[in-house]
Structures are given as C-alpha cells and as structure tokens.
Structure 1
Amino acid sequence: MSEKNFNITTKEWKYKIGTCFVCRKCLYCGVNLAEGSVCNCEKTLKPTNSSKTKKFQVGHVRNGVYKHNESHPILVALLQSNNDIHKYQYDLSKKFNFTLCAKCNSQLVRDQNTYNKNNLISIDEKENQT
C-alpha cells in the first residue's frame, strides 16, 4: 500500500490595520477572521480610540509601531510568532504599523511586566554578587 503525501498549507493572509495582528479579530465589528468568517468593514483605516469612532468599532485598540532595534523583546517575539503563524510575510527588520485588540494588548502588557520584573531581579542579583 502506498502512502499519500498530504500537503497542508496555511493560506497567506495580508494583514490589514483594522484587524488585530495577533488574533485577527476585526476591530470594527468584532468578527473573528481567523475562523474563516468574513466581514465587509473597511479594514484599511486605522482604528482610533476617539469618541467619534467608538460607535464604529469594538472596544479599545492599541495602535503600535514596530521598530526592530527599539521594540520590547516580548513585543518582538509576539509579532514574530504571529507573522509566522498567519504568514503575513512582514520583514521584521523594517518598521511597520500594527494594531492589537484590547484582549491581546492586555496579555502583551502583562507579559512585558513579568519580563521586566524578572529581568530587574536578575540584574539586582548579579550586582549583589559582585
């Protein structure tokens, strides 16, 4: 019996600023685009947190700018992993804009705080040993 080789490919998905870079939720209507759902929102417009646009979008958003040499290591890791998972094909050696939903941004902030706390303890321990 011959074995069949199954080539499973993940569809390339062009990132649009109106979606969360991590979970791919539409930041205007809340539809989860990662599940294959479709919405007709204008996702090329950058969401804002102003009161004028609140009626057109779901929750608070974080608009960020990625700069390889200046970004927090946790942010770099998060964007790199999601760039690979979703096959956005961004060149992470270059600057680009991204948006996160409130949930993904909260997780990022918690992870960054934990990282900073652990590194601060490590630095203090090293200084005390010398």
Structure 2
Amino acid sequence: MKAISLEACSSPVRAWPGGVGDKKVGGNYAPTIVAQETAGSRGFQQILWLLGDPEVPEQQYITEVGTMNLFVAWINPETKHKELVTAPLDGTILPGITRDSIIDLAKERLVPKGWQVSERRVYMTELKEASKQ
C-alpha cells in the first residue's frame, strides 16, 4: 500500500445533503475538476472532500477522497479503542460494493480482535488530533 498526498477542500462542495451525491451521474464530478487540477498543480494527488461550515472548523467533516470512499484506521480519540471508520450513507457518497465488502470483512475479521467498525462522520479536528499519535 502506498500513501497519497491529500489537499483538504471545502469549496466547491462535491455533494450537498439532499442532492444526488449518492448517484453515479456526471453532474457530481463536474464541480470537482478544477479543484482537482488546482490541487495537482500544488503537488497533491487527490482531494479530501469536506462538508460543513469552513468558518467553523469543528463542524467540517470528511465525505470522501477524490471519487473514492475513505476508511480511517485509528485509535478513536474519544473511546480510545481501535476503530475502522468510514462516512455514513447520508446521501452525499456512493454506496459502493468495495465499501460494503470492506465493512463486511472488517466486521468478520477485526471485531473479534477488539476493533470497532463504524459508519459515522469523521471531523477534521479528530483527524488532525489523530495524526499527532
């Protein structure tokens, strides 16, 4: 597995709640092209898409990376347990087969080893704090 460089981006918004972010349609990708090109020109490989008020960093949460679902494996900052977490199916991300497969495999193989498998919002403040571990 090879790490990629990400640029966090809250504007433009890739998918609004109540919109069609959970559908595979061209209109979901058009607003992302310029942001991806701009990030690329600054040396980043993908966009870490955020949703929430950019003026209130505590409210910004991660939806996905580029056109991919994101999973975070970490020690949960609140519970202090090992956790594999991904964004919930709230209408802003695609409900993919790979996403479902990873969740199923994680529940089968990681939960017996003491891990939590969660579908919930991951806030940027949590991710920043976890990166210091």
Q: Same fold (TM over 0.5)?
A: no
Higher share in strand: 2
Determine which structure has the larger helix proportion and give its number: 1
| Structure number with larger C-alpha Rg | 1
TM-score normalised to the size of structure 2? 0.27
TM-score by length of 1: 0.27
